[in-house]
Amino acid sequence: MRKTKTLAMILAGGRVDELNVLTLYRPKSALPFGSFVRVIDFPLSNLMNSGIERVALLSQYRSYSLINHIGTGAAWDMLGRNRGIMILPPYTGGDQTNWYRGSADAIYRNINFIKYIDPDEVLILSGDHIYKMDYQKILAYHHEKDADLTMVFTRVPLEKAHRFGIAMLNDEDGDRGGRVTGYWENPAQPAADWASLTVMLFKPEVLYKFLQENQYDASFHLGHDIIPAMMAAGFKVYGYKFRGYWGYTRTVDEYWQSNMDLLGEKPLIDMEAWGLRTNLDHYGIRDFQPTIVGDAAHIENSLFYNGCRIEGTVRNSILSPGVVVEKNSVVENSILFFNTRIGRECLLSKVIADVDCHFHNGVRVGAETGDSAARVTVIGQDNTIPANTVIGQGAVIYPKLAETSWKQTVVSGEVLR
């Protein structure tokens, strides 16, 4: 593997309204995923497996859980001389008076740090996508083309392209990629279907130039401002085509589907084969006892880790450490976060339950059994759901509801806060 002095900067501090109560107390990059890992583990593991060991995390929104998860960086072998993971939160005082106002502003605020590292390239990544990528291939293409900026794109359905940064490529290198001849951020009427994965490799001096020139712009965004400005000035912007799995986790439905892609005889995501690493000290994962499966339990096409106790039926579901499913209960098409407890005679169908929820006996939540096309029901963290409560599909329950806030029936699509 070719060693380069590459600095990776991960945009990991934001939340999105579409994930609703799941990101009220954590950035989306710190969301649990696939039983016991976090979304941020995917780009970090990609960097480790690509031999890129200088990493900066740009953290802002409720960053405690993210910082706690990163720890020393030892989980990804990023601990030692000339390597490591550095947390770069925003600060106020001196000549800085605001929080990060966008992706370009977040990078600009840390130019002095970048110059101190003095990298050969600056690799900017999103911290909330699910994929496996060898960044050395992008580095090789970037050097071959002597590009000022190389971006990674994947093909999306044209009807969904308005949600992304979209590029038109001249395909001069066939399946590998080509020069970017047009780029639009969230176009209302997309003219192409190559969507940005927010994997951007810059020549440092070019990045410095355009960040400095853009600092007074209103949007402070790489896609809205920096990339179009580079193209308009004639700088070489290339696109590398990625054709592997890409899980987007911006909405509840997308997050749920990406988790479900871990299941089946031939899962689209194989965390072991992908070389995924996580911090087993976070949430005390390594300290949980082995899972206990009762005599009457039935488990089908599901993923769970240490620390669970399963006495009921679990189908097509993902259970984090500490989850308990009591006798005669059914959990299907659902994702249960750490230390959630399901009492007896319960039914949870297409539900995401955040950490430390307790469902008392006889609770029914979500869709009719077997209805995988139903809307996802989301239960915020640290909730105690009274016995025999019925919660309809697509409902949203805010975290830490008081006992007096509950009612016997929460209708489909209702928001309870």
Taking only the tens place, the pLDDT of each residue in 79-97 is 988 899 999 887 655 555 5
Element spanning 69, H or E: helix 64-70
Q: Per-residue confidence at 98, pLDDT binned at 50, 70, 90?
A: low
Q: For position 21, what pLDDT does the model report? A: 94
Distance, CA of 56 to CA of 84 (rounded, Å): 8
In order of 72, 278, 319, 382, the CA distances from 340 in angstroms are 28, 21, 9, 9
Radius of gyration of the chain (CA): 22
Q: For position 214, what pLDDT does the model report? A: 73
How many domains are contained in the chain? Answer: 2
> Does a structural domain hold residue 283?
no
Give me the domain span that covers residue 334.
288-416
Q: For position 82, what pLDDT does the model report? A: 84
Q: For position 70, what pLDDT does the model report? A: 94
Say which CATH number the domain at 138 has: 3.90.550.10
Q: For position 104, what pLDDT does the model report? A: 85
Same domain, 209 and 99: yes
Residue 58 one-letter amino acid: L
In order of 22, 290, 321, 355, 358, the CA distances from 334 in angstroms are 14, 21, 15, 14, 15
Q: For position 400, what pLDDT does the model report? A: 96
> Does a structural domain hold residue 398?
yes
Question: Going by C-beta distance under 8 Å and a sequence separation of 6 or more, which residues neighbour residue 73?
Answer: 55, 79, 84, 85
Same domain, 301 and 175: no
Q: How many CB atoms lie within 10 A of CB 192?
A: 19
Give the pLDDT mean for 299-311.
97
Same domain, 215 and 320: no
Give the pLDDT mean for 110-114.
93
- Enter the DSSP assignment of 96: B
Same domain, 178 and 309: no
- Predicted TM-score (pTM) of the model is 0.94
> Does a structural domain hold residue 279?
no
Same domain, 173 and 305: no
Q: For position 1, what pLDDT does the model report? A: 45
What are the backbone dihedrals phi and psi of residue 161, each rounded to the nearest 5 degrees, phi first?
Answer: -65, -20
Same domain, 90 and 235: yes
> Does a structural domain hold residue 265?
no
The pair of three-digit structure tokens given for residue 255, joined into one six-digit string: 């997050």
Distance, CA of 108 to CA of 98 (rounded, Å): 13
Give the pLDDT mean for 4-20.
82
* Residue 409 pLDDT exceeds 50: yes
200: closest CA among 252, 148, 251, 235? 148
Same domain, 255 and 307: no
Same domain, 158 and 96: yes
Q: Is 84 left (phi over 0), alpha (psi -120 to 50) or beta?
A: left
* Residue 2 pLDDT exceeds 70: no
Same domain, 220 and 296: no
Task: Give Cα 323 to chain centroid, integer Å.
Answer: 22
